[in-house]
Chains A and B, each alone.
Chain A
Amino acid sequence: MTSLASKSNVQLIKDPRYIRNIGLLVGGIVLLLAAVLVGLMAGAISLPAAEVWTALVRDSDSEARQIVWNLRLPRVLTGMLAGACLATSGAFLQGVFRNPLADPGIIGVSSGGGLAAVVIMILFPAQIAYLPMAAFFGALGAAVVVYILAWKGGASPLRLILAGVAVNSLLGAGMTTLMILNSEKVQAVLPWMSGSLNGRSWPHFDALLPYTIVGGLASIFLIKQANLLVLGDDTAKVLGNRVETGRLLIILLSTFLAGAAISIVGMVGFVGLVVPHIVRLLAGGNYRILLPLSAIGGAALVVMADTAARSWFDPIEFPVGILLALLGAPFFLYLLRKGLGK
């Protein structure tokens, strides 16, 4: 298969991925910056880049400053953080489950957070301020229940997925029941259910930022763990890894990140599924590059999708989650077909 390279040639063969990965990182950052810039420029009133820049750097009472600094910037930044959290979470879970279909929904994050949010919105509308906290703990609770149900001398990926399916359908049934019994209040719930950045501002950003920082730092320490788990349980054990502890830590971190994101922006789907998938196709399966690229890609995707959702359909504000699903589903089918062709 390979021609016999001479000794001097061997020295010259350097890892071709190194250059490519740096290129991908730079490309990802440029894409994200472009998405942010367009996100600040586009909207009901479009502003040229120069005006956006002036509004960003100079404090004034101008209308542009109002729009850019108080409306668009916090929304774009919140979308960035949420996208990064969701994509990181998905990238981790796909590795832990060794299943390309895994996303934060698989361990009950969406249904647990969703049920908690619906309970607050429908049954305790006065306590709406506690919605993010309820959604976060709902997500965490559901994931813990899934994990406990899957445990049988160890939590194998297959049992985790099966337990996740069961818990998801149970919580989903609860959510639907609540909504049917209170159909007059469903209107208020729907935008949250489909994931929306509408009206997200500095307080939302301030709430999400510490979670993102803590989760991001923890992610760095779990990269090695994820890289071992993808080799399979047996191999990871033979390499001296404590498989169950590592898997639990990664599941907890993924739940933490995704739970924080959906508690602020609602049930935004597809980011956690599609972004790590694309990144894996481009950059390969090493978490040292897969994880940062997924975070950047997720941030860029949510910012772009939200910009489209609020400017394409003006004056209607489209929930970003629906747009992501509308674009994400066909793309995912395309990936599946491409995979089948191999």
Chain B
Amino acid sequence: MNAALSASDLKYGYRTNTVIEGFDLDVKPGEWLGIVGPNGSGKSTVLRMLARLIQPHHGTVAMYGECISGMSTKAIAKKLTMLSQTQEAALDITVRELVRRGRNPHLNWYEECRGEHEKVVDWALQSTKMTELQHRSLLALSGGERQRAWLAMCMAQSPEILLLDEPTTYLDIAHQLELMELIRGLNKEQSLTVVMVLHDLNQAARYCDRIVAIKDGAVVREGRPSEVFQPQFFREVFGIEAKIHDDDGIPFYLPCGIACEREG
């Protein structure tokens, strides 16, 4: 079976500074994959290459076995979408209007979003619990609601793969969990493939099927959360001492201090 997304031997760099080198990744259909790593490790760069927002200098990204560098932007957008950390803030449009724009990849240039497409919009609003807020302006929403509105736009694309770049960074803990639960629902019920860059390692362990840790532009650890969460992992990847605990089979860590022999 083809991987939903696969990257092989990716390389990317700015001038002399190599951000990513020799990067391989396979994402199975329906899987929730978390990408973690310290600041500057190249997590976001990887995500942007997977969405073809930037072109790797070497290597290829394939979606269901087809190389995305040769696909049209629209063909990619029919199956893959991405939600970033922050969005254009000063937009005075209604939630519904934003979500309707998510239908763009499925419309011809002369077509408007109506009929069947409006039903998808209804569904996207419903699945992100935004139906009641659909006629509000984006300006009148709280941070958590706004992030859900943008997620609704992504869902209106009827994607098979959802990429997320630290979508919970600016949210309080309740809104973080609310968003994660929403995505869990979509992942389970729609068998949506999710690739998420995450800062909060405990959340990664709780929600992700598999964790990939990146350091200095390469994969250093990979596996189920319980396999990855070892004191050695925190020492090597993040340079911290951590205690690992278990909560009904889900591991979580407590940071205890900076590791002694920390490099760089």
A interface residues (Cβ-Cβ under 8 A, vs B): 1-2, 4-5, 10, 13-17, 98, 221, 224, 227-228, 230-232, 234-235, 237-242, 280, 284-286
A237-B73, A239-B77 known; 19 new pairs, CB 8 Å cut-off, are A1-B145, A2-B132, A2-B133, A5-B132, A13-B132, A231-B91, A232-B87, A232-B88, A234-B53, A234-B84, A238-B53, A238-B80, A238-B81, A239-B101, A239-B157, A240-B73, A240-B104, A284-B93, A285-B93
> For residue B88, which residue of chain A has the nearest CB?
A232
Name the A residues within 8 Å of B93 (CB-CB): 284-286
**In the complex, A231→B52 CA distance in Å?**
17
Interface SS, A side: loop
A98 lies within 8 A of B88 (CB): yes
User: Which of A4, A15, A235 gathers most chain B CB within 10 Å?
Assistant: A235
Partner of B135, one of A14, A98, A235: A14
B81 lies within 8 A of A16 (CB): no
> For residue B110, which residue of chain A has the nearest CB?
A221
Name the B residues within 8 Å of A235 (CB-CB): 84, 87-88
Q: Does B186 contact A (CB under 8 A)?
A: no
**Total chain B interface residues with beta-carbon distance under 8 A:** 39
| 17 examples of A-B residue contacts, CB within 8 angstroms | A2-B133, A10-B132, A13-B134, A15-B96, A16-B135, A227-B101, A228-B101, A230-B91, A237-B51, A238-B80, A238-B82, A238-B154, A239-B77, A239-B81, A239-B101, A286-B93, A286-B94
- Known A224-B109, A231-B87: A240·B94 in contact at CB below 8 Å: no
- Known A17-B135, A227-B101, A239-B102: A285·B92 in contact at CB below 8 Å: yes
A10 lies within 8 A of B88 (CB): no
> In chain B between 43 and 88, which residues have their CB closer than 8 angstroms to a CB of chain A?
51-53, 72-78, 80-82, 84, 87-88
Name the A residues within 8 Å of B154 (CB-CB): 238
Q: Does B97 contact A (CB under 8 A)?
A: yes
**In the complex, A63→B12 CA distance in Å?**
76
B interface residues (Cβ-Cβ under 8 A, vs A): 51-53, 72-78, 80-82, 84, 87-88, 91-94, 96-98, 101-102, 104-105, 109-110, 131-135, 137, 142, 145, 154, 157
A240 lies within 8 A of B77 (CB): yes
User: Which of B52, B80, B92 gathers most chain A CB within 10 Å?
Assistant: B92
B94 lies within 8 A of A17 (CB): yes
Name the B residues within 8 Å of A2 (CB-CB): 132-133
A-B complex: 10 closest residue pairs judged by Cβ atoms: A240-B77, A240-B105, A240-B74, A284-B92, A285-B92, A239-B104, A232-B88, A15-B135, A238-B82, A285-B93
Name the B residues within 8 Å of A228 (CB-CB): 101, 104
Name the A residues within 8 Å of B52 (CB-CB): 237
**In the complex, A228→B101 CA distance in Å?**
7
- Known A14-B135, A17-B135: A238·B91 in contact at CB below 8 Å: no
**In the complex, A16→B78 CA distance in Å?**
31
A13 lies within 8 A of B87 (CB): no
Name the A residues within 8 Å of B84 (CB-CB): 234-235
> For residue B80, which residue of chain A has the nearest CB?
A238
Name the B residues within 8 Å of A237 (CB-CB): 51-53, 73
